[in-house]
């Protein structure tokens, strides 16, 4: 019986002269899964859909990574521009630090631009159907990507004494928590939540109008992220006693709920 979850003792994989960061490998694996699942779900919607997901991904995946990094740097400026920070570290994505809000926002915007461009050449389903097809795969990508945080030994929660608690080496424990050995494995909570939510959206199938599955993805993720965020003890800016990401979860969930209700009354293409 496990007393706790161990932290990895490696964060890189070295093969000859090549060095692979486990965080990056988790992100890349998640992206590959998201594209595969999205393509499987989107292809049945039309004769011209076979390569659309991969063609859009070529543009929106880099945009998502850039957007996620920009959001992270903006919301954690002291780590890069503070007295002990180094601006060059903002470019070191393999060390961790991708904000999902920035990734989804910029990634979805670029996907919309690219999708519209492709739709001028061939007849395609609505962009809402495209987003709905991608949503479960994106959740699976997020679940896989969270294991990158495990390899980096970062973003864990408050101290916890339980069989599923995460062992954290003393050198990685924040100031004020050095005497504790095990903590909430928030990476695992979020991974499991994303995986479960992906299954729910797949099960829900075609019971919604175009765009509503994606809206449910955003709402569901925000709910889970709000509670998981409240467990974290890494440095973060606070507003009225809550972490910025908790407020963002509330705001984004509200916007997504509004979009879901509006789409329920809409007709035609999105």
How does pLDDT run across 146-165, given as a tens digit for each residue? 999 999 999 899 999 999 99
Provide the pairing of β-strand 18-21 with 12-15: antiparallel
For the stretch 103-118, pLDDT in tens is 999 999 999 999 999 9
**Taking CA 261 as the corner, what is the angle to CA 255 and CA 266, rounded to the nearest 5 degrees?**
120
pTM of the entire predicted model = 0.91
The tens digit of pLDDT for each residue in 48-65 reads 999 999 999 999 999 999
> What Cα–Cα distance (Å) separates residue 61 from each residue in 64, 108, 221?
5, 9, 19
As a whole number of Å, the CA-based R_g of the chain is 20
Are 127 and 2 a contacting pair, CB within 8 Å? no
115 closest CA partner among 106, 107, 124, 102: 124
pLDDT bracket for residue 84 (50, 70, 90): confident
Give pLDDT tens digits for 213-225. Answer: 999 999 999 999 9
Find residue 13's DSSP bridge partners.
Answer: 20
Contact 115, 121 (CB under 8 A): no
Beta bridge partners of 242: 239
d(CA 159, CA 59): 41
Q: What's the token pair of residue 220? A: 């569901």
Range list of β-strands (E), the chain: 12-15, 18-21, 166-167, 182-183, 238-239, 242-243
Average pLDDT of 266-270?
56
Computed over every residue of the chain, the mean pLDDT equals: 91
% residues pLDDT > 90 (the chain): 73
Burial of 49 (0-12, 13-18, 19+ CB in 10 A): buried
């Amino acid at each position: 019986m496990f007393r706790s979850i161990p932290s990895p003792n490696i964060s890189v994989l070295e093969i000859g002269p090549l060095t692979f960061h486990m965080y990056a490998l988790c992100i890349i694996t998640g992206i590959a899964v998201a594209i595969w699942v999205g393509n499987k779900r989107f292809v049945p919607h039309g004769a011209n859909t076979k390569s659309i997901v991969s063609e859009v991904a070529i543009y929106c995946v880099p945009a998502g990574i850039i957007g996620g990094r920009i959001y992270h740097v903006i919301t954690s400026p002291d780590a890069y521009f503070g007295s002990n920070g180094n601006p060059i570290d903002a470019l070191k994505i393999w060390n961790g630090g991708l904000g999902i809000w920035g990734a989804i926002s910029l990634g979805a915007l670029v996907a919309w631009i690219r999708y519209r461009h492709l739709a001028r050449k061939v007849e395609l389903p609505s962009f809402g159907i495209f987003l709905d097809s991608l949503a479960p795969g994106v959740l699976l990508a997020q679940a896989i990507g969270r294991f990158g945080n495990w390899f980096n030994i970062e973003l864990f929660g408050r101290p916890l004494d339980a069989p599923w608690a995460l062992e954290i080496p003393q050198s990685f424990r924040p100031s004020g928590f050095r005497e504790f050995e095990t903590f909430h494995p928030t990476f695992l909570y979020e991974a499991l939540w994303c995986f479960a939510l992906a299954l729910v959206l797949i099960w829900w199938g075609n019971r919604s109008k175009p765009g509503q599955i994606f809206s449910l993805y955003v709402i569901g993720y925000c709910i889970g992220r709000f509670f998981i965020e409240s467990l974290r003890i890494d440095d973060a800016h606070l507003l009225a006693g809550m972490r910025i990401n908790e407020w963002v979860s509330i705001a984004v969930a509200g916007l997504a709920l509004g979009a879901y209700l509006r789409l329920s009354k809409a007709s035609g293409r999105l």
